[in-house]
Amino acid sequence: MKELLEYMVKELVDNPDEVQITEEEEGDKTVIFKLKVAENDLGKVIGKKGRTANAIRVVMRAASAKRGKSSIVKIID
């Protein structure tokens, strides 16, 4: 799942080298992804009215549902 998040985000930002993702388990079923990107890329992963961040979260929720889990994507600013 981390690979999916990393792949999508790296293709959308200007500074793929500065994409950092940490993965934490909360309980048995929840995975929290903390996403850090370069400051000038924040807008790219959030998008207008948060649409990009929302789409990323929907895709990540789908991926985790398939694996019997739920996921939370936190964008660190």
Partner 1 sequence: MSDNTSMEEAISKFVESLEEEQKNDKLLESNNIKESYIDEITEDYYEEEIFEENNYDTVDNKEKSEKIKDFIKKVIALVTNSEVSEVNFDETAGKIDVYGRDLGIAIGKNGKNMEAIEYILNLYAKRKDLSEKNLTIDIKDYKKKKYEAIKNIALKMAGKAIKEQKKIILKPMPSYERKIIHDVLSENKEVKTKSKNKEPYRRIIIYPLKEK
Pairing type for strands 30-36 and 70-76 reads parallel
Using CB under 8 A, pick the residue from 22, 26, 58, 76 that binds partner 1: 58
Is 53 among the residues that bind partner 1 (CB under 8 A)?
no
Sign of the alpha-carbon torsion through 38, 41, 47, 49: positive
Is 67 among the residues that bind partner 1 (CB under 8 A)?
yes
| 23 and 74 Cβ atoms separated by less than 8 Å | no
User: Which residues bind to partner 1, rule: CB under 8 A?
Assistant: 1, 3-4, 7-8, 11-12, 47, 51-52, 54-56, 58-59, 62-63, 65-67
